């Protein structure tokens, strides 16, 4: 049964309501989400400054022991430099920098001599570019006051948060969407089950739901299997034995530009799900924000239905 994908006559009104809902949330809560992250990030930067003796010591041995400080060092230069820019300027191995930043460790197979040479290049590049307008004590080698250090830490934290502002907002919005689904379901007698601990999507009992649950699918004619993470999995109260649960992907968007770049992801997922489990698959989107008719039309053509957050009661039409 289709709820919204087969009703294009009401898409325009729904799009307008969805945009208003997202914008109202953003104006009220996004600044707080950003500020909270900035406060935590400022503390991390302050710790890194203490570790590096207020940016006077980030020698290879220190970088080797504390690889996680590298993103902070990149944001301490004038101008701040992206990861790939650092790789190019220092002429170091991309794998080393990415491993230090993403995994916060040193590649285990790198020889000691090669590692020292690579880290020295990073040290020399950062030293040449360090922003002395922020780290004022480096200009005349005076001992910085606490206020100076904290001010510098907040500036670097702003730079770090600015580089990941969209993910910060997206994560906050996703958490809010799932909390809204949880509240709506529990008011209707559903029980939340924590993912992990052996919970499987196809053994859930009627009247239960879970978040962040993996659904395995087969690739390459069944020769390979991967997991597709689902934001929400709901087994309706009146489900019968062997019935497929409702799979939900929560999506939000703060503008119309990027949604069409991501729409193929959902098409790939439903194709993989149907190739593994057949037409009994029930996979929908839970939308809030800027999703235009072009996006909706594409998803409808791929056989994907959706429920708008501003009309969550449409879940009832899916047997929830």
The answer to whether residues 6 and 306 touch, using CB atoms and an 8 Å cutoff, is no
CA Rg value for the chain? 25
Residue 21 burial class via C-beta count within 10 angstroms: exposed 0-12, middle 13-18, buried 19 and up: middle
pLDDT of residue 58: 86
Picking from 93-107, 161-175, 207-221, which range would have the lowest pLDDT averaged per residue?
161-175
Instruction: Give, in order, the Cα–Cα distances in Å from 247 to each of 10, 114, 290, 304, 305.
Output: 24, 48, 22, 11, 11
Q: What is the pLDDT of residues 6-61, one digit of tens each?
A: 999 999 999 999 999 999 888 888 788 788 888 888 999 999 999 999 999 889 99
Taking domain 8-30+166-318, whether its CATH number is 1.10.260.40 is answered by: no
Q: What is the pLDDT of residues 91-141, one digit of tens each?
A: 999 999 999 998 899 998 889 999 999 999 999 999 999 998 889 899 888
pLDDT of residue 222: 65
pLDDT at 166 > cutoff 80: no
The 3 state secondary structure assigned to the chain is: CCCCCCCHHHHHHHHHHHHHHHHHHHHHHHHHHHHHHHHHHHHHHHHHHHHCCCCCCCCHHHHHHCHHHHHHHHCCECCCCCHHHHHHHHCCCHHHHHHHHHHCCCCCCCCHHHHHHHHHHHHHHHHHHECCCCCCHHHHCCCCCHHHHHHHHHHHHHHHHHHCHHHHHHHHHHHHHHHHHHHHHHCCCCEECCCCCCCCHHHCCCCEEEEEEEEEEEEHHHCEEEEEEEEEEEECCCCCCCCCCEEEEEEEECCCCCHHHHHHHHHHHHHHHHHHHHHHCEEEEEEEECCCHHHHHHHHHCCCEEEEHHHHHHHHHHCC
pTM of the model: 0.70
Q: Compute the average pLDDT of residues 173-183.
A: 94
Between CA 245 and CA 208 the distance in angstroms is 10
Picking from 116-120, 158-162, 232-236, 248-252, which range would have the lowest pLDDT averaged per residue?
158-162
| Residues forming CATH 3.40.1350.10 domain(s) in the chain | 8-30+166-318
Residue 52 CB partners (closer than 8 Å, separation 6+): 58, 62, 69
pLDDT of residue 263: 78
Q: What is the pLDDT of residues 246-297, one digit of tens each?
A: 999 999 888 887 777 677 888 889 989 988 888 889 999 999 999 989 899 9
The answer to whether residues 177 and 97 touch, using CB atoms and an 8 Å cutoff, is no
pLDDT at 221 > cutoff 80: no
pLDDT of residue 220: 66
Between CA 124 and CA 126 the distance in angstroms is 6
Handedness of CA 222, 224, 225, 226 (dihedral sign): negative
pLDDT of residue 245: 94
Picking from 30-34, 200-204, 241-245, which range would have the lowest pLDDT averaged per residue?
30-34
């Amino acid at each position: 049964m289709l709820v919204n994908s087969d009703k294009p006559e009401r898409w325009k009104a729904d799009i307008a309501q969805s945009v208003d809902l997202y914008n109202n949330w953003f104006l009220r809560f996004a600044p707080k989400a950003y500020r909270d992250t900035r406060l935590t990030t400022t503390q991390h930067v302050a710790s890194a400054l203490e570790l590096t003796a207020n940016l006077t010591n980030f020698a290879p041995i220190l970088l080797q022991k504390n690889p996680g400080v590298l993103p902070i060092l990149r944001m301490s230069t004038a101008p701040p430099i992206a990861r790939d820019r650092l790789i190019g300027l220092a002429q170091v191995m991309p794998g080393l920098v990415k491993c230090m930043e993403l995994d916060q460790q040193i590649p285990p197979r790198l020889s000691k001599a090669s590692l020292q040479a690579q880290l020295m290049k990073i040290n020399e590049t950062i030293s040449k570019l360090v922003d002395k307008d922020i780290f004022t004590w480096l200009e005349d080698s005076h001992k910085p006051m606490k206020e100076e250090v904290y001010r510098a830490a907040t500036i670097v934290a702003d730079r770090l948060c600015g580089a990941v502002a969209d993910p910060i907002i997206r994560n906050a919005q996703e958490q809010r969407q799932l909390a809204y689904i949880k509240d709506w379901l529990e008011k209707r007698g559903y029980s939340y089950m924590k993912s992990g601990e052996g919970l499987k999507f196809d053994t859930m009992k009627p009247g239960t739901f879970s978040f962040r649950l993996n659904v395995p699918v087969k690739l390459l004619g069944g020769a390979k299997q991967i997991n597709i993470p689902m934001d929400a999995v709901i087994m309706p109260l009146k489900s019968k034995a062997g019935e497929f649960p409702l799979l939900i992907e929560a999506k939000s968007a703060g503008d119309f530009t990027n949604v069409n770049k991501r729409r193929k992801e959902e098409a790939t997922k439903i194709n993989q799900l149907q190739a593994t489990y057949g037409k009994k698959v029930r996979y929908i989107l839970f939308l809030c924000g800027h999703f235009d008719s072009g996006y909706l039309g594409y998803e409808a053509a791929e056989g994907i239905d959706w429920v708008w957050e501003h009309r969550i009661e449409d879940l009832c039409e899916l047997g929830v």
